[in-house]
Structure 1
Amino acid sequence: MTTAARATPVEDKPSFPTISYWDNWTDPQGVTHLTKCKMSTFHEDSITPTGDKVMLSTPHDGPATVTIRVQPPHWKGGWNESHQVQWIVPLSGIYFVKAMDGTSVELNPGDVLLSEDVAPVAHGTDPKGHESGNVGDAAVALQILKFGEATPSHVPCQGQ
């Protein structure tokens, strides 16, 4: 039985932010999983010489490609795998992702997915990677940040 869950983008703490995200990762046996994680590795810094300080976290750095993808209503991506580490943020509509272990999640605008299911392994006739698509009758717009030099962790919640 699959369970659909919703991500919560930000949780307030007294003086330290925590941002929830979903990690789509591949274990050492090649099976993909979806795990809810919390990013809390923030430090205080200024982004301008005269501006107020902000809280910053850099889970990945290096060259990145930013893509805005608009999927038409009822779009289904089928089973596939990520070829590089990427962060996905829905901008509009509801997007779903299902892992090989049967876990699925619905992502709403502002939710965050770390997609690092690189090099999954098919077991028998089972599909490999993840399945994804739109929920409902609306188009879905996604912002996708691809990091070609990032290495997938093969354990959950390392994007902290």
Structure 2
Amino acid sequence: MSRATAIFLAATVPALAALSAVAQPSPPQRAYHHLWTDDQGVSHIATCPVEHFFLKSMSPPAGPQWQDPMPQQTATVMLTVQPAHWNGDWHPDPKPQWVVPLQGRWYVRAMDGTRVEMGPGDILFGEDQNVRPMPDGPYKGKKGHDAGNVGDDPVTLMVIQSANPPTIGRPCPFH
């Protein structure tokens, strides 16, 4: 190897290594709320990480984007608009469903008293189908979850209802 080649490689290899490090960004860290039911029929809300992203094009030649696919399932997609001051009272979700606020803010409260407020960009997986009425305490006779709008505006939600049966007794089933 000539001296010029050695000097060229000595200068180029570290630069290429640095460029390679810049070209490999860290995967994102995201989370969703999971409204789930324990073995006693009480609903809870857990915050679950989504962290198994990989970088890939969804449709070449489009550029790569971070993906973390969920298991395939049959689902119904709908948009809902809750009128201003909407209150859903206590009820279980009709089916396991993803709820993504698109506009406005709303809240969900589980039977254990946990309450979360969500707005655009937040995600909830509601899976409280097998709840039983609370036998005592401040939510005696209530089952499922309480939900309603926060503030004076309507709330627009994207709801994706799954045909899959609910999972009982296990929070955070998706990554």
Q: TM-score, normalising length from structure 2?
A: 0.79
Instruction: Indicate which of 128, 147, 161 corresponds to 1:146.
Output: 161
TM-score by length of 1: 0.85
Letter in structure 1 aligned against 2:44: H
Deviations 1:40-77 (A, max 9, x none): 12233221121222221123422111110001000000
Partner SS, residue 134 of structure 1: strand
Paired-residue identity, %: 39
The root-mean-square deviation of aligned C-alpha atoms, in Å, is: 1.4
Structure 2 residue runs without a partner (length 5+): 1-24
| Pairing of 1:8-157 with structure 2 (within 5 A) | 15-124=26-135, 125-157=140-172
- Alignment deviations for residues 19-56 of structure 1 (CA, whole Å, 9 cap, x no partner): 11111000111100011111112233221121222221
Q: Do the aligned partners of 1:39 and 1:159 also contact (CA within 8 Å) in 2? A: yes
Q: Which structure has the larger Rg?
A: 2
Contact persistence 1:93–1:138 (CA under 8 A): yes
C-alpha deviation, 1:150, in angstroms: 4.7
Aligned length: 147
Q: Deviations over 1:96-136 (max 9, x none)?
A: 00000000010011111111112111132430000101011
Amino acid at match of 1:65: T
